[in-house]
Amino acid sequence: MLSKSFALWGVGEMMPTKDELLAALEKHHGRDLQRKLSAATVAICGLGGLGSTIAVALARAGIGHLVLIDYDRVELSNLNRQQYKVAQIGMLKTKALAENIGEIAPFVEVVTHTIKMHSGNSQELLRDVDIVCEAFDDAEAKTMLSMVVLENVRGTYFVAASGIAGLGDANRIQTRRITPHFYLCGDSVSDVCDSLELVASRVMLCALHQAHAVIRIIAEHDSLGET
């Protein structure tokens, strides 16, 4: 039976408490897994079609701490595949996504960095993070981040994407474990060009592969950040 706060939430009189929200998640995940999810810190680098979808999926899953990193603003052209609203066009993506997560899962602690990542600042931005999700469009940025994380941020898990464009078979989007701390999602073939555009369903599919990889990593480790 729903508590009074849940029953009235639909008419805007009361909001569910943090304990009620977490209890609802425990019913789906079990207490042990939810404890692990609530304790984890995940950084999402790039808040476009991949990153914004990863963030929303992880917030709904009850990840306790999200670090959102991007320097861009919401544009009209983003709305076909990114987790923003028409009313948020022109807003910084960090601010808009934090606002949306606050409505979806107000118990999640969100830290935002409105900055462009590069080799000189990435290591500091990712300090004390358990898992890093790479969600950039630019190939050079992807390479930079992978080198920083895999070579310098010892013990941190890295979940990246490669190959999300076009209308290819959804089953070609896969998750591969490259090394013990490195997971790669996508078809590893398609790239964005004039004939291979970014379609919501395929972009989100890859993003959800990344989010699910994060949850599986957390579920299988009592202590993240281990070497």
pLDDT, tens digit (0-9, with 9 covering 90-100), for 34-61: 999 999 999 999 999 999 999 999 999 9
Walk me through the domains of the chain, giving residue ranges and CATH numbers: 16-153+212-220 (3.40.50.720)
Per-residue pLDDT of 21-33, as tens digits, reads 888 998 999 999 9
**Which residues 6+ apart lie within 8 Å of 111 measured at CB?**
65, 66, 67, 68
> ∠ CA(164), CA(137), CA(130), 5° rounding?
90
For position 44, what pLDDT does the model report? Answer: 98
| Residue 116 reports pLDDT greater than 90 | yes
- pLDDT band with cut points at 50, 70 and 90 for residue 224: low
Q: In this predicted model, what pLDDT tens digit does every residue of 190-216 receive, in sequence order? A: 665 544 578 888 999 999 999 999 999
**Chain segment 137-174, per-residue pLDDT in tens:** 888 999 999 999 999 887 899 999 998 887 888 899 99
Q: How far apart are CA 107 and CA 113, in angstroms?
A: 19
Are 161 and 188 in contact by the 8 Å Cβ rule? The answer is no
Tell me the CA distances in angstroms from 68 to 8, 29, 36, 54, 85, one per residue in order.
32, 24, 20, 11, 18
Q: Is the pLDDT of residue 72 over 70?
A: yes
Residue 223, pLDDT score: 52
pLDDT tens digits along 91-112: 999 999 999 999 999 999 999 9
Rounded to whole angstroms, how far apart are CA atoms 55 and 98?
Answer: 9
pLDDT attached to residue 12: 52
| Average of per-residue pLDDT across 64-69 | 98
**Helices (H) and strands (E) in the chain — how many of each?**
8, 7
Say how far apart CA 183 and CA 192 lie, in whole Å: 21
Read off the pTM: 0.88
